[in-house]
A and B are shown apart, each in its own frame.
Chain A
Amino acid sequence: MNLDFAQLVPSIPYILYGIWVTLQFVAVSLVLGFLWGTVLSLFKIGKITVLRWFADAYTSVFRGTPLILQMLLIYYAVPQLTGIDIGAFSAGVLTFALNSAAYISEIIRAGINAVDKGQKEAAMALGVPYRTMMLKIILPQAFKNILPALMNEFITLTKESAIVSVIGALDIMRRAQIVGASNYRFFEPLLLAGLVYYLLVMMLTLAGRVMERRLAKSD
């Protein structure tokens, strides 16, 4: 055993600053992915054939190819085609939002379908327009059902965000690697990075439980 955490100490703030980068990255991806995923799920259950077809094809492609490939395509290949250089952070956010939207749309679609169809009929019989019915009656019930699955997706997103280090975004993972390379000691910084990710995931899990309990007040 040859561990030396003392040597890591000066680099700890540098690695910890990556938390901020990772959190920003995850938060933006999550919000965008969630919104886009909701829209896609509405396409999937809607009556417009073209949109339904599009959403199904979209999901199939994003679920059927590796995330890292999608990211490299957006980061390296898009600038090659268009001449627009979008930067590592933006490319990462874009990829994660587009990718998680595919998964989230499936989760939400299942959640909407699981809401008793009597709810839709009751809303229709009261003359409630489709939009209001979806936003105020169906989706709130669907979200309650799918919260555990959604939290799972968010946790996956947080962990998988580590692959943006591949395109050079300075997240926790990338910083741990840089520190490892400069000290020529990898175990300590990687261990620290692992601990940070674990704590982030635990925080998300706890937040999910709190939300679940709050939504359960009508039970």
Chain B
Amino acid sequence: MIDVQSLKKSFGSNQVLKGISTSIKKGEVIAVIGPSGSGKSTFLRCLNLLETHDEGSILLEGKDINEMELHLRKKIGMVFQHFNLFPHLTVLENVTFAPQQVLKISKSEAEKEALDLLKTVGLSDKANSYPSNLSGGQKQRVAIARALAMKPEVMLFDEPTSALDPEMVKEVLQVMKNLVKLGMTMIIVTHEMGFAKEVADRVLFMDDGKLVEDQEPAIFFENPKTDRAKAFLEKVL
């Protein structure tokens, strides 16, 4: 579904991606892990053009993503570390905004679908609240519902639980697990190793802008091939 070929990206003189190649099949759940500054988030952001890559190519269903900006983003949903909910809109308006504005769905239909989505993330009762009245975990669940409202084919998660208080991590991971069960294609940048081990089909281990390992989680977490991955796992597990 997504083919990435020798992806390179620099910020000024700092090369953050040094040639990443991988491909992701429909329905796969990919966990991207690695130390801070390894380029995980940049890699993810390149996939929906929040960053434009310098070299290499990204193909979505065989088409170069550079030529399909708005269309691409309708197909790829994204969840951010800091939620980025629209603070001046209610929870319901946050979820219905893009379907109404981008997909041109009627307000009543968008609201109906939004309420269904809010139900699946367990926040039906918060539909008319503003984001400032929600906890971090609730905000992130709304953000997931907002992304799902666009009916994306792929969901990107950029450290979705890193900004949360520890007791709120679980509720967000639970929502994500439900998505996995529904067969959603997901690429998740995360520091939650237990979660990665449990739900991922593949683990991409990145270090210093390179894709160091690309493995099934069972193999990666038990028998990492590279010393770099071994050292990293020893620190975090």
Contacts and interface: CB of A to CB of B under 8 A. Distances in A.
B21 to A, nearest CB: 24
A125 B86 contact: no
B98 interface: yes
A187 to B, nearest CB: 50
A217 B131 CA distance: 11
A136 B73 contact: no
Contacts of A116: 84
B115 interface: no
Nearest to A119: B84
B37 interface: no
B163 to A, nearest CB: 11
Which of A118, A121, A125 has the most C-beta atoms of chain B within 10 angstroms of its own C-beta? A125
B101 A124 contact: no
A73 B146 CA distance: 54
A118 B82 contact: yes
Q: How large is the interface on A (under 10, 10 to 19, 20 to 34, 35 or more residues)?
A: 20 to 34
Contacts of B74: 127
A126 B84 contact: no
Interface string A98-118: 000000000000000000101
Contact of A125 (B77, B97, B131): B77
Q: Is the interface of A mostly helix, strand, loop or mixed?
A: helix
B84 A121 contact: yes
A144 B88 CA distance: 9
B98 A128 contact: yes
A122 interface: yes
Interface in B58-89: 70-71, 73-74, 76-78, 80, 82, 84-89
A119 B80 contact: no
Nearest to A120: B84
B146 A141 contact: no
A132 interface: yes
Contacts of B82: 118
B86 A119 contact: yes
B48 interface: yes
Contacts of A137: 86
Contacts of A217: 130
Interface string B181-198: 000000000000000000
Interface in A130-184: 132, 136-137, 140-141, 144
A145 to B, nearest CB: 11
Given A118-B82, A119-B84, A132-B101, A125 B50 contact: yes
A126 B50 contact: no
B102 A121 contact: no
A91 B74 CA distance: 49
Nearest to B143: A122
B87 A129 contact: no
Contact of B50 (A121, A129, A136, A144): A121
Nearest to B70: A127
B102 A128 contact: yes
Contacts of A218: 87-90, 130-132
Given A125-B76, A136-B101, A140-B88, 16 more contacts: A118-B84, A119-B84, A122-B78, A122-B85, A123-B86, A124-B50, A125-B80, A126-B98, A127-B70, A127-B102, A128-B97, A132-B101, A215-B88, A218-B90, A218-B132, A219-B130
13 contacts: A121-B80, A121-B84, A122-B85, A122-B143, A125-B76, A125-B80, A127-B102, A128-B102, A136-B97, A218-B88, A218-B131, A219-B130, A219-B132
